Amino acid sequence: MGEKVVAGPFDLSDRQRHRDKLRQCLTVLERLLEEKRFDRPKNLMGLEIELNLAGPDGMPRMMNAQVLDRIASRDFQTELAMFNLEVNIAPHRLGDRVFDRLAEELRTSLAYAHRKAGEVDAGIVMIGILPTLGQRHLVLANLSDVDRYTLLNDQIVAARGEDFALDIDGIERLVCRSRSIAPEAACTSVQLHLQVTPGRFADVWNAAQAVAAAQVAVGANSPFLFGHELWRESRPPLFQQSTDTRPPELQAQGVRPRTWFGERWISSAYELFEENLRFFPPLLPICDDEDPQAVLDGGGTPKLAELVLHNGTVYRWNRPVYGIADGVPHLRVENRVLPAGPTVVDVIANAAFYYGLVRALAEESRPVWTRLSFESAAANFDAACRHGIDARLEWPRRGRYGGTTQVDVVNLVRDELLPLAAAGLDAWGVEPADRDLYLGVIEDRCRLRTNGATWQAATFHRALEKGLSREAALAATTRRYGELMHLGEPVHTWPVGLPEPVPLG
């Protein structure tokens, strides 16, 4: 949804013409794949992080336009709501000290943005869901003043035809309604991109789906929404419900939600693009002037603009991406499961774990997806979102006996997945110092059973025990989180609770 679009009404002929263009794009994509037009391997990765703006009181600040004016960098852009920003880090080649370089770039960018936000009494908070967000903040009036967000909201609301129902039953239960998609803006995430060849795409995507649960379990950082303590990673159920174009009758019929884990392992990238067209009506029937078949026949590289835009409105947790760089098309897997934060070190550790793990699993002689049902992978993802680092997952047994077993995620990660991730990073050519530093962060989280979600929950309950109201405890937790986030030490080292006031005199 990063494309610039112009809001306007659509009539029946617009939708039919758009559907025809989508089919043309899909046919051209198939030709591009058959004719092997895609870029050769470059081991390129990319990183995007969605951010929150909050004031010294811990409350959200609806001023991304003012902050972006002061930042004045193409690396930063708007996100759905006025308290959101997004930072994009330029693609890097996996290898050497890439993770240390990424960490330094990210620290520099966030420190600069935080200083600029401070000029308007705001600050950057890198967190999955800002604990101080209330229903009053997530309303249509607080969407960013950008045509594509207004248009997307209008089309999703029209497709649904009624208010959005939010019902998340976790440690506490939240039941409420919204007249817009604004609650989606509460979800701030990290998106990890990996450029892959068409021949490797299916293996990498399948591997990413298989490990999504482990990623979420160790990286959970979103336990609160609207003053309620919900799932350890509450973004996925919130995202699904706040973008759900299906009224209850269509849900009962088994119509698929637009925020979707998927339903099967794949054998090619084409299958995902084709499914997106077959299962999901276009929300933004905007037609580009390009004739993709004519461009391809003429030896050019088609933009496939309609396909790219439609693909951006189907919110798979691992999304296929078609892109063009230097006139050459390429494919990427966009991993979208992780929350933002808590610190730069934590974000880079999560990235190192992911890139190492998908490399190793994609190259196994007996891949995990041949030994684990897709239904089990989806159930694992749900369990990891609910329980975070305390989750139990179903996983293939090691050794000759086969089958699957239930295992604590911390044991699975420490005993099996971290060694695989280390081998994968070695295969990428990552320096051992980088490998050991960042995978060590994941190991320490598992050893201590601590991540962003557990720290937030523990600190909130300590504040309640001190006599603070729920609202004051959430605000104090948010302020303390922001202080520790900017100090930069990984979250498993953070002291739980609020600092004691310094006595006077």
Q: What average pLDDT does this structure show over 77-97?
A: 95
Distance CA(92)–CA(43), nearest Å, equals 8
| Residue 41 burial class via C-beta count within 10 angstroms: exposed 0-12, middle 13-18, buried 19 and up | exposed
Q: What average pLDDT does this structure show over 382-404?
A: 92
Q: Give whole-number Cα distances, 411 to 145, 360, 392, 407, 448, in Å.
A: 46, 18, 9, 7, 12
Question: What tens digit of pLDDT does each residue of 230-251 get?
Answer: 999 999 999 999 999 999 999 9
Quick one: pLDDT band at residue 5, thresholds 50, 70, 90?
A: very low
Quick one: pLDDT band at residue 9, thresholds 50, 70, 90?
A: low
Ramachandran sector of residue 6 (left: φ over 0; alpha: ψ -120 to 50; beta: rest): beta
Quick one: pLDDT band at residue 373, thresholds 50, 70, 90?
A: very high
Judged against a pLDDT cut of 90, whether residue 501 lies above it is answered with no
Helix (H, G, I), strand (E, B) or coil at 83: coil
Judged against a pLDDT cut of 80, whether residue 43 lies above it is answered with yes
- Cβ distance 242 to 146 under 8 Å? no
**Token output for 102:** 């990424």
| For the chain, percent of residues with pLDDT exceeding 90 | 89
Quick one: pLDDT band at residue 8, thresholds 50, 70, 90?
A: low
Residue indicated by tokens 């080292």 = 493
Cα Rg of the chain, angstroms: 22
Query: Is the N-terminal amide bond of 342 cis, ω within 30° of 0?
Result: yes
Q: Give whole-number Cα distances, 383 to 170, 210, 373, in Å.
A: 11, 13, 15
Check residue 13 and give its pLDDT: 78
Judged against a pLDDT cut of 70, whether residue 2 lies above it is answered with no
Least confident of 87-96, 264-273, 392-401: 392-401
**Which one has a higher pLDDT value, 319 or 399?**
319
Task: List, as one string, the DSSP characters of 13-58.
Answer: HHHHHHHHHHHHHHHHHHHHHHTT-SPPP--EEEEEEEEEEE-TTS
Helix (H, G, I), strand (E, B) or coil at 260: strand
| For the chain, percent of residues with pLDDT exceeding 70 | 97
Check residue 219 and give its pLDDT: 98
The three-point CA angle 294-199-260 to 5° equals 85
Residue indicated by tokens 């302020």 = 479
Judged against a pLDDT cut of 90, whether residue 14 lies above it is answered with no
Q: Give whole-number Cα distances, 263 to 63, 295, 368, 375, in Å.
A: 39, 34, 16, 7
Question: Mean pLDDT over all residues of the chain?
Answer: 94
Check residue 500 and give its pLDDT: 79
Judged against a pLDDT cut of 70, whether residue 362 lies above it is answered with yes
Q: What average pLDDT does this structure show over 355-379?
A: 97
Quick one: pLDDT band at residue 1, thresholds 50, 70, 90?
A: very low
State the CB neighbour count (10 A cutoff) for residue 26: 21
Q: What letter represents residue 361's amino acid?
A: L
Question: What tens digit of pLDDT does each residue of 146-203 get?
Answer: 888 888 899 999 989 999 999 999 999 999 999 999 999 999 999 999 999 999 999 9
Judged against a pLDDT cut of 80, whether residue 437 lies above it is answered with yes
Measured over the CA atoms of residue 318, residue 323, residue 326 and residue 329, the dihedral's sign is positive
Judged against a pLDDT cut of 80, whether residue 449 lies above it is answered with yes
